[in-house]
Amino acid sequence: MRFANEPPPIHRTGNPDAIRVQDMGVRYDLRFNRKTKIRTSIGQMLGRGAAHQFWALKDVSMRLVQGESLAVIGPNGAGKSTLLQVLAGIIRPSAGFIEVRGHVSGLLTLGAGFDVDLTGRDNILLGGAFLGLDDAVTRRLLPSIVEYAELGEFIDAPLKTYSSGMRARLGFAIATSVDPDILLLDEVLATGDAAFREKSKARVIEIVKAAKGVVLVTHDMNWVTEYCNRAILLERGRVILEGEPADVVALHQEHMAEAHAAQTQMAEKAGIDPRIVLRR
């Protein structure tokens, strides 16, 4: 077992790091959220100006070596998704720095950014433009996306006429049309109907194999031990352990069991049926 402050393992002779993260932190300002109104803010300004800050990630250092597949695991709210957002360049760190070599891409949640008033074809072109794909590339990929999503002549119909299955397939087909150097995966495998899930899983494995590096956030521990060469355990925004997948998974499960036991105990002390508490 190796702890985070020790150099990560892996034979990195001459191989430049695909991702380097140094003492990185992400701070959220809790004063602003999606529900903030001018009225409430003036109220806050007049009231006490307490520091409403929260570090979603703190002092995170890690690296991804070329060719490596790294799993990020941890309980809910540990900052896993925030870490992926930083690696994708969506969120800038509030402290430290990150360096990414090569084109990063995540698999979008199916159908993010779809415009239901536009046709499937327009959505593909627009999606490609948002992803930063060259126009020629998008147009070349178009037939294969249509085929993969099994859309047929629906491609020129507005998206609002699509079934939810068709939308999910189209979303997945667009998302996986990118061919990134570094792939970021955030629990994308749990969508769609059973038949499509099989098909999509096969496609994801294909992309994972083709990518020069993968960072994966998942709760599926089998996937971690099966497909990843290294794992990181995040808890409350900090890296607890970095090392062999099996070791990291073991510690994670140990911590989860402890948390479970503590919750049960607390519930019992409070006289509540622990099953009610734990179901949340």
Partner 1 sequence: MSASIEAPATFRHAAGEQGPIGLVREGITDLWSRRRLVRYLVQADMRKRGADTILGNLWWVIDPLLQMLVYVLFVTILSRGKGVDDYPLYIFACILPWKWFSAAVGDAAVSVVSQQQLIKQIAFPKIVLPVSSATAGVVGFLFGLIPLAGIMLFYPNRISPFLLLIPLIAFVQYVYTLGFALMVSAGNVFFRDLGNVLQHMLRLWWFVSPGLYSLSTLDDVGIFKSHEWLRILVSLNPFAVLFEAYRKVIYGSADNGGSLPGWPDFTSLGLLFLGSLVFLAVTIIMFKRLEPNFAKVL
> Residue 157 is inside which H or E element, if any?
none
Report, in Å, the least distance between residue 48 CB and partner 1.
20
Report, in Å, the least distance between residue 209 CB and partner 1.
15
Using CB under 8 A as the binding rule, whether residue 224 contacts partner 1 is answered as: no
Phi, psi angles (nearest 5°) of residue 17: -70, 135
Report, in Å, the least distance between residue 118 CB and partner 1.
6
Strands 230-235 and 69-73: parallel
For partner 1, the closer CB: 131 or 277: 131
For partner 1, the closer CB: 117 or 198: 117
Strands 104-106 and 95-100: unpaired
Please tell me whether residue 74 adopts helix, strand or coil conformation.
coil
Do 11 and 96 contact (CB within 8 A), yes or no? no
Sheet strand arrangement including 182-186: 104-106, 182-186, 213-217, 69-73, 230-235, 238-243
Name residues contacting partner 1, limited to 128-167 (CB under 8 A).
129-137, 158
**Total interface residues for partner 1 by CB under 8 A:** 57
For partner 1, the closer CB: 181 or 244: 181
Using CB under 8 A as the binding rule, whether residue 209 contacts partner 1 is answered as: no
Cα angle at 223 between 220 and 228, to 5 degrees? 125
For partner 1, the closer CB: 98 or 232: 98
Site string (81-120) toward partner 1, x via CB under 8 A: ----xx-xxxxxxxxxxxxxxxxxxx-xx--xx-x-xx--
> For residue 121, which amino acid is it?
R
Using CB under 8 A as the binding rule, whether residue 32 contacts partner 1 is answered as: yes
CA distance 150 to 159: 14
For partner 1, the closer CB: 136 or 195: 136
Contacts of 180 (CB under 8 A, 6+ apart): 102, 103, 104, 105, 211
Report, in Å, the least distance between residue 35 CB and partner 1.
7
Q: What is the DSSP letter of 131?
A: H
Region from 6-14, 25-33, 69-77, 215-223 binding partner 1, contact rule CB under 8 A: 25-33
For partner 1, the closer CB: 100 or 166: 100
Report, in Å, the least distance between residue 221 CB and partner 1.
25
Do 242 and 4 contact (CB within 8 A), yes or no? yes
> Residue 61 is inside which H or E element, if any?
strand 53-65
For partner 1, the closer CB: 69 or 105: 105
Report, in Å, the least distance between residue 172 CB and partner 1.
14
> Residue 209 is inside which H or E element, if any?
helix 194-210
Nearest in space to 211 (alpha carbons), one of 235, 189, 185, 190: 185
Q: Which residue has the tokens 């990134």?
A: 180
Report, in Å, the least distance between residue 133 CB and partner 1.
6
Site residues (CB under 8 A) for partner 1? 25-26, 28-29, 32-39, 41, 85-86, 88-106, 108-109, 112-113, 115, 117-118, 122, 125-126, 129-137, 158, 179-181
